């Protein structure tokens, strides 16, 4: 009986053939909807903080160094790759990549840090999107106006003005 | 140093002990999936053993919990001397989604020293094989910290007290790049 069962087992094994995947030699393609670790695109990010608000693991941190610089830090230690940050991002700056080979010997290797420049609105004092390269030339703060002393002329002021002083940026009224 | 020690002492044949300290079983299933004929890791000499006294490597799944932290520490102490600890899954790496509840202490590294991290919820079986291959020294790690910095900030950091106002312009005296 035992010999019979062994023979049966051998037949089953032979019928199955070779099933071992050749992973380390040749990687299998990941499934279509696989979500790997998120990648942050600093060129598209506006620093709105939607991802930091919606992260269930609280792994995306957002803090301001000063009025103009905002740091977006993704630590990724307990990130479950749920993709809520990518869903909520209005600018589609976060993409869920398909890379999964993230084994490291130090946990700091998976963190991402994005430094954002936040301009300050002269009228309301809040932050708005960084101007494009062409608009930057038109802005006074970006230009070296005081050539003799080679100082950056500063447009951000510690107080707010009721009247628009410069019309560098045309405000579009809806 | 650690890599050389690894290659010398272990002889590229790791006996792993599989310790779950309160995870959801997702990572357990992925670890056991690695040992199935599909991802047959016994061809690399990796073998699952039932006791920490026989093991070279401890695979930790799940966060360090209040109830199991002591047992995890005892299992770590029972392992013979050249030992490695792998934190598998986002719970073991960083505490998981429930990192701030009363029963979760945090990541596994609060209780036992962790040598290698494999994040993911759960990590793919390929990712676990890759992490073990990084530890043995077969492949190099692919991840590195990503930092995006402004090349030159157009406006220097200032303090309102340092601004000197003239009639038209407000000039910043201390030109200091951040």
Q: What is the pLDDT of residue B178?
A: 39
Residue A110 lies in a domain: yes
Interface of A with B in 53-112 (CB under 8 A): 56-57, 59, 65-66, 68-69, 75-82, 99-112
Please report whether residue A98 resides in a domain.
Answer: yes
Cα(B119)–Cα(B107) distance, integer angstroms: 12
Report, as ranges of residue numbers, the positions in chain A whose pLDDT lies below 70. Answer: 67, 120-174
Give the Cβ contact number of residue A136 at 10 Å: 14
According to the model, what pLDDT value does residue A125 have?
62
Rounded to two decimals, the pTM is 0.73
Q: Does A134 touch chain B (CB under 8 A)?
A: no
The answer to whether B135 touches B2, Cβ cutoff 8 Å, is no
In a domain, A101, yes or no: yes
- Kindly report the CATH number that applies to the domain delimited by B2-136: 3.40.50.12280
pLDDT digits (tens, 9 = 90+) for B52-70: 999 989 999 999 999 999 9
B72 CB contacts (<8 Å, ≥6 apart)?
A: B19, B21, B60, B64, B108, B111, B112
Closest CA to B13 of B139, B136, B134: B136
Structural domain for A78, as ranges: 30-128
The total number of structural domains in chain A stands at 1
Q: Chain B 100-129, CB below 8 Å of chain A: which residues? A: 107, 115-121, 123-124, 126-129
Write the Ramachandran bin of A49: left for phi over 0, alpha for psi from -120 to 50, otherwise beta.
Answer: left
- Between B137 and A171, residue with greater pLDDT: B137
pLDDT value at residue B163: 65
Domain ranges for chain B, please list them. Answer: 2-136
Q: Which chain A residues contact residue B119 at CB under 8 A?
A: 37, 76-77, 79, 102, 110
Residue A24: inside a domain: no
- Residue A71 belongs to what H/E stretch? strand A69-74
Looking at the domain assignment, is residue A169 inside a domain?
Answer: no
CATH number at residue A57: 3.30.70.3270
Q: Does residue B173 register a pLDDT over 70?
A: no
Looking at chain A, the whole-number percentage of residues with pLDDT higher than 70 is 67
In a domain, A85, yes or no: yes
pLDDT at res. A162: 52
- Are residues B45 and B12 in contact, defined by beta-carbon separation less than 8 angstroms? yes
In a domain, A92, yes or no: yes
Q: SS in 3 state form for A75-98? A: CCCCCCCCCHHHHHCCCCCEEECC
């Amino acid at each position: 009986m035992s010999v019979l069962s062994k023979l049966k087992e051998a037949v089953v094994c032979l019928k199955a053939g070779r099933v071992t995947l050749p992973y380390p030699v040749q990687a299998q393609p990941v499934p279509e909807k696989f979500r790997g670790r998120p990648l942050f695109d600093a060129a598209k990010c506006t620093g709105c903080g939607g991802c930091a608000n919606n992260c269930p693991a609280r792994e995306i941190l957002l803090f301001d160094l000063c009025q103009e610089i905002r740091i977006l830090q993704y630590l990724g230690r307990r990130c479950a790759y749920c993709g809520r940050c990518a869903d909520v991002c209005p600018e589609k700056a976060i993409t869920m990549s398909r890379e999964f080979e993230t084994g490291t010997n130090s946990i700091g290797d998976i963190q991402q840090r994005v430094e954002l420049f936040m301009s300050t609105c002269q009228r309301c004092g809040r932050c708005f999107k960084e101007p494009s390269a062409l608009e930057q030339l038109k802005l006074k703060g970006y230009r070296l106006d005081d050539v003799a002393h080679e100082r950056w002329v500063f447009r951000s002021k510690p107080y707010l003005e009721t009247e628009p002083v410069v019309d560098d940026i045309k405000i579009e009224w809806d | 140093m650690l890599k050389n020690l690894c290659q010398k002492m272990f002889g590229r044949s790791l006996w792993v002990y599989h310790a779950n300290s309160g995870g959801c079983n997702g990572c357990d299933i992925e670890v056991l999936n690695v040992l199935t004929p599909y991802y047959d890791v016994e061809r690399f000499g990796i073998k699952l053993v039932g006791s920490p006294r026989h093991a070279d490597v401890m695979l930790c799944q799940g966060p360090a919990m209040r109830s199991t932290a002591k047992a995890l520490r005892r299992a770590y102490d029972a392992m013979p001397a050249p030992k490695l600890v792998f934190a598998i899954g986002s719970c073991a790496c960083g505490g998981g989604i429930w990192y701030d509840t009363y029963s979760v202490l945090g990541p596994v590294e609060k209780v036992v020293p962790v040598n290698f991290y494999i994040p993911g919820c759960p990590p793919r079986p390929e990712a676990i094989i890759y992490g073990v291959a990084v530890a043995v020294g077969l492949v190099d790690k692919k991840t590195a910290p990503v930092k995006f910095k402004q090349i030159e900030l157009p406006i220097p950091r200032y303090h309102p007290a340092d601004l000197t106002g003239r009639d038209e312009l407000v000039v910043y005296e201390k030109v200091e790049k951040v």
